[in-house]
Amino acid sequence: MAQYPDLAGKVAVITGAGRRQGLGEAMAKRLAAEGCTVVITDLGQGQGEHLPDSAIGTTDEMQGIVHDIEQAGGKAAAFVCNVLNPDEVASAARFAVDTFGRLDIWVNNAGVGYLMKPILEMSVEEWDTVLNVNLRGAFLGTKYAAEQMVKLGNGGKIINIGSQASKSAFAHASAYTTSKHGMTGLTRVAAQELGPHGINVNQICPNHVTTGLGAWQNAHFSEVTGKGYETYMADMRARIPLGRPGLQEDIAKVCAFLCSEQAAYISGEAMNVSGGEEYH
């Protein structure tokens, strides 16, 4: 049963939503269950500079998620989009309007979390890749989604997917932390500028979620810290008051809430979803 009836008939675009077990898939399925038509975007094949194949949502994976949503009675479409390309991002926003008649929700979810190195070991090219995808991509999504929303005149919701790294610094994650701190600034400025058009702009800041990316991070940081996997995960659980890492569904629930009219008076927020771990 839908929890937010006002979402029925709305149209949502989610970037970086083509990978199985990712936050994007969970948010797409939750919004579809609430009655939204969902446009799933991702890179498709062969465009991920500095990224392993497992970080790229393939065309087949995108279509598989669309199929899952349709089998559950929802409505969805896939659209290949590189968030670094202004023309492709603008085209994704137009695709939603041209195909489904409206654009109500845009979720800037695409991001790079694999390039985790000390500053002294990170190349300029790797730094630029993280900052460009995580921050430039969110800027372009905000810009072109808002352009369509303002033109349509119905307001809208823009959701940026940040991180605990939006609030706190993490060694060996300089580019990632910088990009997510920057996203918080973008969220706040966009909320001020777009509020008069009836557009709410908010950011969700999860702590660790064991997606495909999260599993890589677990293995990477357990090695970097020298703790070993079991000790690293035990330490993680111990510092979270609710005693567990986040789940994809935890983020999807908050996304649906922020997209609903229950959150009509919330804008410019960077909301922690961290089991009590993050207080900033």
Q: Are 117 and 126 in contact (CB under 8 A)?
A: yes
Q: What is the pLDDT of residues 125-163, one digit of tens each?
A: 999 999 999 999 999 999 999 999 999 999 999 999 999
- Distance of alpha carbon 162 from alpha carbon 180, whole angstroms: 6
Share of the chain above pLDDT 90, in %: 80
Does the structure show a pLDDT above 60 at 254?
A: yes
Confidence of residue 216 (pLDDT cuts 50, 70, 90): low
Task: Report the C-alpha gap between 116 and 213 in whole angstroms.
Answer: 12
In whole numbers, what is the pLDDT of the chain averaged over residues?
Answer: 92
Compute CA distances 73 → 4, 29, 67, 155, whole Å. Answer: 17, 11, 10, 27
CATH fold of 5-209+248-272, please?
Answer: Rossmann fold (3.40.50)
Mean pLDDT of 204-212: 82
Task: Report the alpha-carbon distance of residue 49 to residue 43 in Å, rounded.
Answer: 11
Return the active site residues.
176, 180
pLDDT over 90 at 211, yes or no = no
Concatenating the DSSP letter of every residue in 107-119 gives: EE----------G
Residue whose token pair is 């070993």: 228
**Does residue 245 or residue 64 have the better pLDDT?**
64
The dihedral built from the CA positions of residue 129, 135, 138 and 139, taken in this order, carries a sign that is negative
Task: Copy the structure tokens of residue 107.
Answer: 């979720």
Instruction: List Cβ neighbours of 187 (8 Å cut-off, separation of 6 or more).
Output: 160, 162, 201, 202, 203, 268, 269, 270
Neighbours of 232 (CB within 10 A): 18
| Residue ranges of domains in the chain | 5-209+248-272, 212-245
Contact indicator for 203, 162 with CB cutoff of 8 Å: yes
At 219, the pLDDT band (50, 70, 90 cuts) reads: confident
